[in-house]
Structure 1
């Protein structure tokens, strides 16, 4: 054997043979995240298509005769007669009921079937693509080098999605039409699923040498995400929101920095840096809004923009009314929210908190509103009443932290400096419905009151098809009626004759729950009702014995009852003691709307939202009911009971 051949043999022994598994692992780690994103893109597109079809079918149903003009005729049709033309609308209503009105409670959490299904599909997608095809070339199944590395790449690929779902200005909301506050559940859900996958990835790397920088950065990312998931549970967010808010910012930053450096070692950082871009674009848009709506503070213009001094008034010990002048460029629709930044009250200068806008962006002339308010507000401030039609008004529930400090300022009738960021959220077009049911609990009336004002004005100018509005408000104390009593009386006084408005207020803090009575007797409360309202209006109280003092407080203190002397012929007020049977109420409303469309919106506690969902399940919104001429029911829930 020659020396040259010996040297060649030695060289061949010194070079390790190529690892056949490595090329396969890398190829699949590169391809599978793309496949997951293709699946998610199809899912997002499917949601957009469903929403579009629901909108189109609702439009077609109007064109085919299910309009306000046919609702009386439809109510007289025999229930047994089935109309096959209503089949598309029946299928849409069936989808609404199954997807959004069947809920499951998990302790303090409540999820509808659509949310559960999306969660399970997301989990199935990530874990399927993590653990499929993990048999190595030697035949060993579930090779940790396969699923461990792949889990890390899939985690990185989902970080931009989680970031986008958590921002207020995102493309997913634009495509699907789902407002960002509804997507926030998906933000938390995706983060929690990825959290589990993070520990799957970390478990496969327990034998790695910890002196490597990229590995220490990975440990930083894992610990940050773990801490973030712990403090983001509902009990912490509900009881210590400010702590969660600031800790969330710090931990997210640590997680992104750690994840970027960790993935950079393997050239997968391209999945991470888009998160910084998404977050930055959202912040830039919000800063632009701040400058536009608060430009006088920043030195632009003279005498224009929002008045930074917002007046704070303590209506009751647990409710603050914050009123500020509306910026000239600020437009909003009923049901939208705005973020308020109060440097003198917040713990940090640019801490922001969301509140529903309780006022309505009216097209009416402000002089007409003031003059009309003066004629209906017996002794009350007409300018304050008119502000619900022209200015920005917020009804804030006093709890802890910022709201508690606002309550202290309001008790002194002080003012606060406010930056305005918004509006956010979408608003349903209620002009297409024959009947509108507005249900609120406590300060949830901030959501329903502007919708009532919008409907009244829409009927006045001929833009709304609505014929009947039922306004249901559940309050714990009769004094709480003073939050909106003057504004409510003024709104009802200008209601056109073609619109029937029923106001039903339930005081829940003084008796055990009872069934609602549609035509209760009126007990003697110690004052004469004969001069308070014309015979065409009705003022009703509970059938069961009522605390004379509790009801009189709410009605007399703001002269709400006296204001009904100027009400329109088709308005009524019912003030009852106890909890309403929302299921019975909704069944009655749906029966009265046979042949037409009914829109229900609810804003309140989880129990109220659950009762409304239950009341609008089968058979009220079932396909057979729709085929037999039943009401087309649409439900919008603004609730605080989500995970």
Structure 2
């Protein structure tokens, strides 16, 4: 009798174990598909929103170009207009999603990024821990969720890989540039990192069996987990900012180790089909980059006439903290304002094909050289004329001197030497400012590399009657007064090119005093007559001065002494140079009032404090629905920050 009962119990346990295993396997195979359906739905939603936004901007620009004259003087009524309700809702979404931020030390996340992060965390861990009650009624059965966590981890590897590449299908579908997706790449990797150790901890805590230690899948899993852990540590902002070259090569090696280890580990459990597409994604990205390198740099690579010299770049050490690198436009290379290029300089880099990203500070102009030069007679000296013309026709980069690559480049620039450069790019999103009546361009330090091409683009578009813009306010905050000479000749020439229909207001704020030497690079020599902006971040706080206005500022504020001003800029009535930090909130409020009934676009590039000051200045009530319903300006904000999380 006991034997029969024991046999029945064993049979029941085997049956339960078999049923548990079948359920576990089924859910481990099904849930990664459900997670991907959820992620695909979000990607599709973003794509639809971006497409509708594109159509809306195109239609708005077309309407404003055709009826610009009839719109003048409208929109100043304080009465609510129901027709503005769609625009008011769009602005409400912009304010809530992108202008409310949370700061975590040197990292700043807007509400949209926070929501996406929380949704991703919730999705992965919900699908990991739901339905983990076994057939016997035991809740959160570790055998259910630990194996499932491994399947979910494998399913996310292609997503993480794609988000980290410069040429990826997600960016192509959604229209979101790769540098924006890079935040999602790091976020997804860090969430998966937590899930990896959740999976590993569940396996290690009860102890590993002897036969498991003899199989290759276990050490491969340990290799993948340790590689991902190291990746997450070296990808922290302080490490990347201080040791970019170390991060660059270590990241490359660790990614390959992680993918190989993950593939061999999942092969044992038939989940390798999730991992191998990552090798294809990575390989396609590299293939596209190599093809672009060949197309844009074939003279340097030994093809065609003048090979070896076509991509020689000249260097100038403008100050101990800034190098200007200029090279002729590579064949077939075109770019838009705000885009970046990766520079490969074998003679300067410590390792071959080491690339460094820099914003292109020049503009890809369609005007002839004669048309550009004809405006320079009264503003440029002969020595400055050639260098300023390059900002319309050549590639110009303004490079911050720190350690490693940039410091070696500075030593070459101190001798006014030339370097061989291979260009990879352009990358990043370009901003079309043609549909906005007012454009406000705000920069701190080297952030002017981003805003200067936008100014040149706007002036040329208005000249060709392709833009409805009638007002540009160019705000630049610098620490050293000598930094004005960095773009003085270019700015003076641009202002001479502007048509009478476009009003340009240039405001330069000097937050510090000139210093003859820099303690950071004591052994570099440079011509003190050439000036350039300090590359370090400029802290900008909005002063609490509710009575601030343009007139009172110009009449009463302390202007910079004449000896600080550049002659080319000092003589221009549309340029104002002031001592102190810019009151960004008050300036933006004034611009919004000037643009009532129209569209205002604000582009900012600078430190986190500058970006946050602008975001706060464009929150409620200036961008609220009530303001739009009463004829206020529709405000668009583009933020390009110096750093990233």
Whether TM-score is above 0.5 comes out as yes
Deviation string for 1:59-96 (max 9, x for gaps)?
A: 45556769643553225x321x1111111111111111
Q: In structure 2, how many angstroms separate the alpha carbons of the residues matched to 1:371 and 1:421?
A: 33
Deviation at 1:373, TM superposition (A): 2.7
User: Which of 549, 560, 566 is matched with 1:555 structurally?
Assistant: 566
User: Which of 462, 476, 481 is matched with 1:459 structurally?
Assistant: 462
Give the TM-score of the pair, scaled to structure 1: 0.90
Deviation at 1:496, TM superposition (A): 0.3
User: Which of 501, 504, 507 is matched with 2:507 structurally?
Assistant: 504
User: Which of 580, 583, 588 is matched with 1:581 structurally?
Assistant: 583
User: Which of 190, 200, 207 is matched with 2:188 structurally?
Assistant: 190
Which position in structure 1 is the counterpart of 2:521? none
Q: Is this contact kept in 2: 1:441–1:475, CA < 8 A?
A: yes
Which position in structure 2 is the counterpart of 1:69? 69
Structure 2 unaligned segments of length 5 or more: list them: 1-6, 515-539
* Cα distance change, pair 333–187 in 1 and its aligned pair in 2 (3 A): same
* Cα distance change, pair 306–276 in 1 and its aligned pair in 2 (3 A): farther
Q: Is this contact kept in 1: 2:569–2:575, CA < 8 A?
A: no
Q: In structure 2, how many angstroms separate the alpha carbons of the residues matched to 1:70 and 1:162?
A: 50
Deviation at 1:413, TM superposition (A): 0.8
Q: In structure 2, how many angstroms separate the alpha carbons of the residues matched to 1:481 and 1:379?
A: 19
Deviation at 1:304, TM superposition (A): 7.3
Q: In structure 2, how many angstroms separate the alpha carbons of the residues matched to 1:450 and 1:242?
A: 28
* Cα distance change, pair 509–341 in 1 and its aligned pair in 2 (3 A): same
- Which 10-residue stretch deviates more, 390-399 or 54-63? 54-63
Q: Is this contact kept in 2: 1:341–1:419, CA < 8 A?
A: yes
Which position in structure 2 is the counterpart of 1:568? none
Give the secondary structure class of the aligned counterpart of 1:642.
coil
Which position in structure 2 is the counterpart of 1:477? 480
Deviation at 1:366, TM superposition (A): 1.3
Q: In structure 2, how many angstroms separate the alpha carbons of the residues matched to 1:461 and 1:547?
A: 36
- Which 10-residue stretch deviates more, 271-280 or 207-216? 207-216
Which position in structure 1 is the counterpart of 2:227? 224
Q: In structure 2, how many angstroms separate the alpha carbons of the residues matched to 1:68 and 1:610?
A: 33
Instruction: State the Cα RMSD in Å.
Output: 2.3
Give the secondary structure class of the aligned counterpart of 2:434.
helix
Q: In structure 1, how many angstroms separate the alpha carbons of the residues matched to 2:612 and 2:135?
A: 54
Which position in structure 2 is the counterpart of 1:291? 294
User: Does the alignment pair 1:257 with 2:260?
Assistant: yes
Structure 1 unaligned segments of length 5 or more: list them: 1-8, 522-539, 565-570
User: Does the alignment pair 1:402 with 2:402?
Assistant: no
Q: In structure 1, how many angstroms separate the alpha carbons of the residues matched to 2:263 and 2:442?
A: 47
Which position in structure 2 is the counterpart of 1:6? none
Deviation at 1:399, TM superposition (A): 1.4
* Cα distance change, pair 333–254 in 1 and its aligned pair in 2 (3 A): same
User: Which of 435, 442, 450 is matched with 2:438 structurally?
Assistant: 435
Q: Is this contact kept in 2: 1:478–1:554, CA < 8 A?
A: yes
Q: In structure 1, how many angstroms separate the alpha carbons of the residues matched to 2:505 and 2:290?
A: 42
Q: In structure 1, how many angstroms separate the alpha carbons of the residues matched to 2:60 and 2:428?
A: 26
Deviation string for 1:123-157 (max 9, x for gaps)?
A: 00000000000011111110111000000000000
* Cα distance change, pair 305–57 in 1 and its aligned pair in 2 (3 A): farther
Which position in structure 1 is the counterpart of 2:371? 368
Number of equivalent positions? 602
Which position in structure 1 is the counterpart of 2:520? none
Give the secondary structure class of the aligned counterpart of 2:474.
strand
Deviation at 1:519, TM superposition (A): 2.4
User: Does the alignment pair 1:47 with 2:46?
Assistant: yes
Q: In structure 2, how many angstroms separate the alpha carbons of the residues matched to 1:323 and 1:379?
A: 18
Which position in structure 2 is the counterpart of 1:416? 419
Deviation at 1:520, TM superposition (A): 5.0
Deviation at 1:56, TM superposition (A): 3.4
Q: In structure 1, how many angstroms separate the alpha carbons of the residues matched to 2:606 and 2:170?
A: 26
Query: Where does 1:375-386 land on structure 2 (aligned, <5 Å)?
Result: 375-386=378-389
User: Which of 468, 489, 499 is matched with 1:486 structurally?
Assistant: 489
Which position in structure 2 is the counterpart of 1:269? 272
Give the secondary structure class of the aligned counterpart of 1:612.
helix
Give the secondary structure class of the aligned counterpart of 2:381.
coil
Which position in structure 1 is the counterpart of 2:111? 113
User: Which of 90, 93, 97 is matched with 2:91 structurally?
Assistant: 93
* Cα distance change, pair 282–455 in 1 and its aligned pair in 2 (3 A): same
Give the secondary structure class of the aligned counterpart of 1:104.
strand
Deviation at 1:48, TM superposition (A): 1.5
Which position in structure 2 is the counterpart of 1:19? 18
Deviation at 1:212, TM superposition (A): 2.1
Deviation at 1:58, TM superposition (A): 3.9
Which position in structure 1 is the counterpart of 2:128? 130
User: Which of 329, 332, 337 is matched with 2:332 structurally?
Assistant: 329
Give the secondary structure class of the aligned counterpart of 1:381.
helix
Which position in structure 2 is the counterpart of 1:208? 208
User: Which of 230, 242, 245 is matched with 2:245 structurally?
Assistant: 242
Deviation at 1:308, TM superposition (A): 2.1
Deviation string for 1:11-35 (max 9, x for gaps)?
A: x99x965611111111111110000
User: Which of 627, 633, 640 is matched with 2:635 structurally?
Assistant: 633
Q: In structure 2, how many angstroms separate the alpha carbons of the residues matched to 1:59 and 1:20?
A: 58
Q: Is this contact kept in 2: 1:111–1:642, CA < 8 A?
A: no
Q: Is this contact kept in 2: 1:293–1:306, CA < 8 A?
A: no
* Cα distance change, pair 175–194 in 1 and its aligned pair in 2 (3 A): same
* Cα distance change, pair 242–222 in 1 and its aligned pair in 2 (3 A): same
Q: Is this contact kept in 1: 2:61–2:468, CA < 8 A?
A: no
Deviation at 1:454, TM superposition (A): 0.7
Q: In structure 1, how many angstroms separate the alpha carbons of the residues matched to 2:400 and 2:59?
A: 41
Q: In structure 1, how many angstroms separate the alpha carbons of the residues matched to 2:305 and 2:377?
A: 32
Give the secondary structure class of the aligned counterpart of 2:74.
helix
